[in-house]
């Protein structure tokens, strides 16, 4: 079944395989009137491209995006925006080994069971390169949200069990760390640990945190289309993410109602505020006007050079060592992917919320006539 | 926007407020030919109804389900199955207090911001009673999955930080504990702790685990409609759930690729197996044939009798003590809700998977002609 | 697969069989703040109920609607509105004949092929009674549209080939005719013809026209979600409708570009107008600000008392005479159903259109904050 | 709102503007295992490309399709198939005239009202070139249906009021006529009439008929997802189509129940047949095993060289003569578009039907395990 689209009103459809002609995305439902060009998109893509540091695969890919439709005279027209990153160099590698092996932690086996065979070149459709489409679409969502006064910001919370001090979080610090880890001391420790992991032909996992600020209260639908439910789906749909939590998240299991509840108060400017934000900005699936906080866990890169036990297509037990150099940790390059998926979700739900009240609908159509 | 439906092929739509005429659900897309009657559904509902133990609210509600359509001569017909639980006794309580207060940890404030006003009686649409519809629909999904050899099973993993020994998990033990906690020693400890919490006018949280066994490999769509992504949305859409993880989940942040990867092997019966199941049965968003394992964290009940700081509709800072007796922990009654949402999701994705391969489609339509 | 829901933002889900416990509908996505009670809905239902005239089946059904959720203190709350019409009298008829016969022009055979068996009582799910849910939902859509200055109006255009004079169309005249045929002379001729048909144990078809006035320009999405495409689906999904056209419709096949094009002009009040309206108010799938005009053809009632050749479940060639008294023409009772489906579609697309322009979205969220 | 996708399981998303970089489509949900290459797609595209005869615009466009993903070693992989037709020659025309004029019968005005401005080059997104994506996707649907024994076939039924003799319909004859009009005598008459129209700077409309043979009974969902309802939406979503009918269609308004009903019988091979096919192969929204017959009316090309009254963006009443040479009739090139949309719809609904019966689901999953 079709499963490469996300979003109901702002709808993103991705296509492409790792070593095919390229990776692309169609963004349908983008409002008309947003200033947009390739440069804006490219900035986001550059945050996920390989070869940014020694902690990511040194494969040389420029990942240059082209906008193919939906933009006219520098502005979105309201019609679908097709974007693509084409693979410049033909990758005529020898795939004979990978073609028949089921790598542990990868989707090789499950793709074969699902489809009968698979495009094994570089992981095919299950490769991390698929996220190029998400990031390009997320870039548009982020730019749109900014126009509406909403900011999405993701960063590395922890790698190899080394966790940042929350006080250090700032956009500036995030960009200073090769691991997008805003606590630079923690970052440096994690870098050390990663170098060691790399020597041991091993890999590491970590946690990404993402915040949304400026979101008005009232966004998200009760019941199944809760804001947190959609964020969970969005972020969990990123390869390698194995868990997600909102606000105090799994800590809530050990807390009490008295401690976990966030009391409301009216501040000196007559604004509604909360003493704490254990809810992560969402109550009953609907934004409460405070910061949205989500965290995702990213598993250690499954591609490691150590010898592992596994099987091949012929049903034989074998040992495999995965050749080539791979990211020793996926987390840093996944930061912008989490940001993208969060932005797409928040924008989509913001759009959904426009029909919640008849009085506001009346005012809207008075603007139109 | 419409947000009370879940599922693409097997689609569940719920309606109703806590203290309205009742709670209902329409299950659309159920295949014809399933033996079904109210008794089968009622069994599941009885696991979430209040008053089962001293650890749940003693409100007397029988929650008797009626099937109103879609079943003929004891069998599903393929058309929508409407089910409802009507409120027998009129609840003509005095709501004057709750009507104007924004209770901490509840959706009162966010509903007002979203809709301009709200049905405040008993929490209205944001009440836990809404899950009656989910459980009734989930009962059908569970029964259908059983016919296909698939079993879904949820239980309490931990309450107040007291966690079960995994060895003790069995359907029998689950039903023996008033907390649906299969390790009876742990259960008894948790019960003690809960009694203490209740005395302190406080409440507790916990973790629910759910497994799916018998699911064939190949279920789940790559990219956005991953099996884990949809499970995350499904379970996160349950009120009070603040996080979800698959397999090793958040532990993976501290693991390494070598330890986290699950090696494949061929067993003595020529079946594909894995040495470990850190992936929780899902690789690349697609089931790998081993057990699916998901965990959800449930926050402590927000309704507590202790005095809390908050505000009212008039924008005044006030103190509130929530009257009446409430569940000191939501976890036990939420166990069957997690089971229901998991079953609905797995069934829906199983149905989606039927068009993955042309050769199987050909065989299917040869059966039909 | 689930197929009993219609609409993306304003979403309608119906359930129920002709001779089951009742017929119902869940309306999800209705904005909060609409004054609503059963009386408003009942008015619409009364226009489709049987026994209104000698030209409809004399079965006595009051079809009294109950609102079960989504309305609080006389106002919609934004949550799902469940409505039901329960069957008062148990219909313990003898179905032995109809149970095994495949009536010509009915869905008996196709249901059996699809589902393996069927609820044969009174046509089960394929009965015209299913439209009760559509009309109840359509009533809400109509009332909402009125609040936004948009009026939907349907009437009988022709029966037995007798067609109205367009000059005679008025809300008043529509209600004066037992056939909802605003040209009373034509109505009277058609009534005569129908009486004759009834004597001959035969039945008649006809054409329903529906207009939408007050709809602003710019509603409808280009490409697949065109306003006319969705109207076509909506109206064609009504049982017995076998064709639909917009504006000049099938006449356009015989026209020329010069004659069929509607020239624009600026009127004395600086408003954009068109000299003609062959487009039926829709250009490129988007409303142009003039009246929307759609027409649907309704086939002659398939239930006739004359002897017809057909088969039974055992695969035998047989003759059948359909017992009981049936509507000699479906058209009059279907008028309000066409109105309902048109209103639901127009409202849903109106809601979709709210995100077309970034500048308007900005203004909207300035209203919210 | 997103509106460029069609289909629930087999889902087609198109992008691109007439004079932009190109036109493309993503086909998501195509089963794995279909032999596919560009040649197969190109055959269908060649039937809609301009310049095939003197009765279509002589613009030289080769419309060469590229497959960019979803096919590996000549076979579909089950992942999204991205296809594009890039515009080879830069169209640096002078658009100064068209940019500010609202052409009668075109979507210029409605796009401006919807989006605030538009890509006016060659009609932008509302151009007929958008159908390239539909035809490329439809080609895949047709090829898949063939594998399942189902054939879709469209042809011109009438142009300028000249209608074919049904006896003459054959795949061979269709391809012999430059108008895809299988009655070659009628075709020749219509060609004459068209030449005259062209001299008069005018244009013509017509009717396209499409049949589906080999479709098993039981396809289509009752209520809103009726097979005919979805066909109506699919075909009505093609630009210039202003009406659609199934089987006897609008004729049914003048018929009687006795004449319009199709009696069933068992033929000599014990197969279920019908004496007539006024239902066009669909009863209660579900296929009955006989041929599906649909007809669509196509309005006369709105682009004509005659002088027409209209307005411009500045709100001035003006006269316009549309420059360049345009198709004097859209019908012939739209034939393959109707075929494509029909195939996509039928395939999608075929897939939906696979979960109608539990017994068949059980058999299916026994095949899988």
Contact A357 C29 (CB under 8 A): no
Rounded CA Rg of chain A: 22
- The pLDDT of residue C54 is 85
Both structure tokens of C1: 């697969």
Separation of alpha carbons C255 and C252, rounded Å = 5
In chain C, the residue whose alpha carbon lies closest to the alpha carbon of D352 is C1
Q: How far is D147 from chain B (nearest CA, A)?
A: 8
In this complex, which of B13, B118, B124 lies closest to C28 when CB atoms are compared?
B13
Are the Cβ atoms of D68 and A11 closer than 8 angstroms?
A: no
Position A95 scores a pLDDT of 79
Residues 6+ apart with CB under 8 A from B296: B207, B208, B210, B235, B236, B238, B241, B243, B244, B338
Sequence-distant (6+) residues with CB within 8 A of C367 are A360, A363, A364
Cβ contact, residue pair B205, A239, below 8 Å: no
- What is the C-alpha R_g of chain D? 22
| A8 vs C contacts (CB less than 8 Å) | 8
A313 found inside a domain: yes
Task: Mark which residues 110-139 of D lie under 8 Å from A by CB.
Answer: 114-119, 124-125
pLDDT of residue D291: 98
The string of DSSP codes covering C228-267 is: HHHHHHHHHTSTTEEEEEETTGGGGGGSBHHHHS--EEE-
Burial status of residue C210 (CB atoms within 10 A of its CB: 0-12, 13-18, 19 or more): buried
Of A9, A79, A359, the CB nearest to C355: A9
CA of A82 vs chain C CAs: smallest distance (Å): 15
State the total domains in chain A: 1
Instruction: State percent of chain D over pLDDT 90.
Output: 90
- Distance between CA atoms of A9 and A137, rounded to whole angstroms? 14
Which pLDDT does position C62 carry in this prediction?
Answer: 84
β-bridge pairing C264-266 and C101-102: unpaired
Question: Which pLDDT value is given to residue A96?
Answer: 75
Instruction: Indicate the average pLDDT of chain D.
Output: 95
The residue in chain D having the minimum alpha-carbon distance to the alpha carbon of residue B78 is D356
Contacts of C75 in chain B (CB under 8 A): 117
Query: Which of chain C's residues have a Cβ under 8 Å away from the Cβ of B82?
Result: 15-16, 24
Q: Work out the average pLDDT over D276-305.
A: 97
In chain B, which residues have their Cβ closer than 8 Å to the Cβ of C79?
A: 4, 15, 17, 119, 124-125
pLDDT of residue B326: 84
The alpha-carbon gap from B199 to the nearest alpha carbon of chain A, in Å, equals 13
- Residue A237 located in a structural domain: yes
- Percent of chain B's residues with pLDDT above 90: 90
What pLDDT sits at residue D325?
Answer: 75
At C202, the pLDDT band (50, 70, 90 cuts) reads very high
Tokens of A114: 């699902």
Output the pLDDT for position D62: 84
Q: Is residue D369 part of a domain?
A: no
Instruction: Dig out the tokens for A173 from the structure.
Output: 């610090």
pLDDT, tens digit (0-9, with 9 covering 90-100), for C80-118 = 999 999 998 655 666 777 899 999 999 999 999 999 999
Instruction: Look at residue B92 in the predicted model and tell me its pLDDT.
Output: 60
How close is the nearest chain A Cα to the Cα of D52, in Å?
27
**In whole angstroms, what is the distance from residue A206 CA to residue C288 CA?**
54
**Chain D residue with the nearest C-alpha to that of C274:** D310
With 70 as the cut, is the pLDDT of residue C119 above it?
yes
Q: Is residue B283 part of a domain?
A: yes
Residue of chain A with shortest Cα separation from D86 = A68
Instruction: Give the separation between CA B259 and CA B275, rounded to whole angstroms.
Output: 11
Q: Extract the tokens encoding D267.
A: 């033929």
**What average pLDDT score do residues C335-343 get?**
98
Residue the block writes with tokens 């009212």: B312
Q: Which residues of D touch A33 (CB under 8 A)?
A: 115-116
**Model pLDDT for residues D244-260, shown as the tens digit of each residue:** 999 999 999 999 999 99
D172-195: average pLDDT: 97
Enumerate the residues of chain C whose CB falls inside 8 A of the CB of residue D204: 256-257
With beta carbons under 8 A apart, name residues in chain A contacting C31.
355-358, 361
Task: Mean pLDDT check: name the lowest of A58-62, C361-365, D167-171.
Answer: A58-62
Residue D357 in tokens: 């019966």
Report if residue B9 sits inside a domain: yes
In chain B, positions 9-48, which contact chain A (CB-CB < 8 Å)? 9, 14
Please, which pLDDT band fits residue C15 given cuts at 50, 70 and 90? very high
Least confident of C176-185, C253-262, C319-328, C360-369: C319-328
- Report the half-sphere exposure of D357 (CA within 13 A, side-chain side): 18
| Nearest residue of D to residue C290, measured between CA atoms | D110
Task: Test A222 with B111 for CB contact under 8 angstroms.
Answer: yes
Given CB atoms, is C252 within the 8 Å cutoff of chain A?
A: no
Indicate the pTM of the whole model: 0.98
Residue C90: predicted pLDDT: 59
Looking at the complex, does the CB of residue A319 fall below 8 Å from at least one CB of chain B?
no
Task: Answer yes or no: is pLDDT of D326 > 90.
Answer: no
Q: Supply the DSSP symbol for B204.
A: B
Å between B52 CA and nearest CA of chain D: 34
pLDDT tens digit sequence for B57-90:
777 778 999 999 999 999 999 999 999 999 986 5
In a domain, A353, yes or no: yes
pLDDT given at position D12: 98
Contact map slice: C 79-98 vs B, CB within 8 A: 79-82, 84
What is the rounded distance in angstroms from the CA atom of residue C25 to the CA atom of residue C13?
5
Map tokens 């400026």 to a residue. Answer: A214
From the list A147, A218, A358, the residue facing C147 with the nearest CB is A358
Determine what percent of chain D is predicted with pLDDT higher than 70.
98
Of D118, D86, D108, give the one whose Cα is nearest residue D15: D86
CA pseudo-torsion sign D141, D147, D148, D152? positive
In order of A202, A325, A328, B284, C219, the CA distances from A305 in angstroms are: 7, 8, 10, 20, 57
DSSP reduced 3-state for D357: strand
Nearest chain C residue to D223 by CA: give it: C4
| Higher per-residue pLDDT: D251 or D58 | D251
Question: Which range of residues forms the domain containing residue C100?
Answer: 5-364
Whole-number pLDDT of residue C69: 98
Write the CATH number for D151: 3.60.150.10
Q: Which stretches of chain A score pLDDT less than 50? A: none
Q: What is the pLDDT of residues C347-358, one digit of tens each?
A: 999 999 999 999
Give CA D127 to chain center in angstroms: 14
Say yes or no for a CB contact (<8 Å) between D253 and C205. Answer: yes
Chain D residue at shortest CA distance from B217? D369
Selected residues 273-302 of chain D with any CB under 8 Å from a CB in chain A: none
| Inter-chain CB proximity B115 and A6 less than 8 Å | no
Q: In chain B, which residue's Cα lies nearest the Cα of A207?
A: B253
Residue B56 — very low, low, confident or very high, per pLDDT cuts 50/70/90? Answer: confident
Mean pLDDT of D50-68: 85
**pLDDT per residue over B256-304, tens digit each?**
999 999 999 999 999 999 999 999 999 999 999 999 999 999 999 999 9
Count of CB atoms within 10 A of residue C39's CB? 8
Least reliable range by pLDDT among C95-104, C239-248, D99-108, D305-314: C95-104
Model confidence pLDDT, tens digit, residues B156-178? 999 999 999 999 999 999 999 99
Predicted local distance difference test score (pLDDT) of residue C91: 59
Which of A224, A349, A361, A367 to probe by mutation at the C interface, max C CB count within 10 Å?
A: A361
Q: What percent of chain B has pLDDT over 70?
A: 98
Q: How confident is the model at residue B32 (pLDDT cuts 50, 70, 90)?
A: very high
Which tokens belong to C212?
Answer: 């939408």
Average pLDDT on C224-251 reads 98
Instruction: Look at residue D331 and tell me whether its pLDDT is greater than 70.
Output: yes
Contact between A211 and A153 under an 8 Å Cβ cutoff? The reply is yes
C9–A352 C-beta distance less than 8 A: yes
CB contact under 8 A, A256 and B197: yes
DSSP assigned state of C291: -
Question: Chain C closest CA to A148's CA: distance in Å?
Answer: 6
Which of D107, D160, D163, D243 would best serve as a mutation to test chain C binding (most C beta carbons within 10 A)? D243
User: What's the gap in Å between the CA of A329 and the closest CA on chain C?
Assistant: 38
Mean of pLDDT over chain C: 95
Does C369 reside within a domain? no
């Amino acid at each position: 079944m079709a499963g490469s689209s996300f979003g109901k009103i702002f709808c993103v459809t991705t296509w492409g395989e790792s070593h095919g002609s390229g990776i692309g995305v169609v963004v349908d439902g983008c409002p008309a009137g947003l200033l947009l060009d390739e440069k804006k998109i490219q900035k986001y893509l550059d945050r996920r491209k390989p070869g940014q540091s020694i902690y990511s695969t040194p494969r040389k890919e420029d990942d240059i995006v082209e906008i193919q439709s939906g933009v006219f005279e520098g502005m979105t027209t309201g019609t679908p925006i097709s974007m693509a990153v084409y693979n410049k160099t033909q990758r005529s590698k020898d795939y004979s080994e990978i073609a028949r092996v089921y790598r542990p932690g990868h989707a090789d086996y499950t793709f074969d069971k699902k489809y009968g065979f698979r495009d094994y070149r570089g992981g095919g459709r299950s490769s991390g390169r698929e996220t190029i489409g998400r990031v390009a679409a997320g870039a548009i969502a982020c730019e749109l949200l900014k126009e509406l006064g909403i900011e999405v910001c993701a960063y590395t919370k922890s790698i190899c069990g080394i966790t940042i001090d929350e006080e250090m979080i700032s956009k500036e610090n995030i960009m200073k760390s090769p691991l997008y880890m805003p606590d630079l001391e923690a970052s440096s420790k994690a870098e050390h640990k990663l170098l060691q992991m790399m020597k041991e032909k091993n890999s590491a996992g970590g946690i990404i945190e993402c915040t949304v600020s400026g979101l008005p209260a009232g966004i998200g639908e009760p019941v199944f289309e809760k804001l947190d439910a959609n964020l969970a789906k969005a972020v969990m749909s990123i390869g390698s993410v194995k868990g997600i939590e909102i606000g105090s998240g799994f800590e809530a299991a050990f807390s009490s109602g008295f401690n976990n509840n966030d009391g409301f108060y009216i501040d000196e400017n007559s604004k509604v505020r909360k003493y704490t934000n254990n809810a992560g900005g969402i109550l009953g699936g609907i934004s409460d006007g405070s910061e949205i906080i989500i965290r995702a866990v990213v598993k250690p890169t499954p591609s490691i050079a150590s010898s592992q036990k596994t099987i091949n297509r012929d049903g034989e037990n074998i040992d495999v060592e995965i050749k080539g150099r791979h990211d020793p940790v996926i987390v840093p390059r996944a930061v912008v992917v989490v940001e993208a998926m969060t932005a797409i979700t928040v924008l989509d739900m913001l759009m959904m919320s426009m029909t919640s009240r008849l009085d506001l609908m009346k005012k809207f159509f008075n603007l139109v006539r």
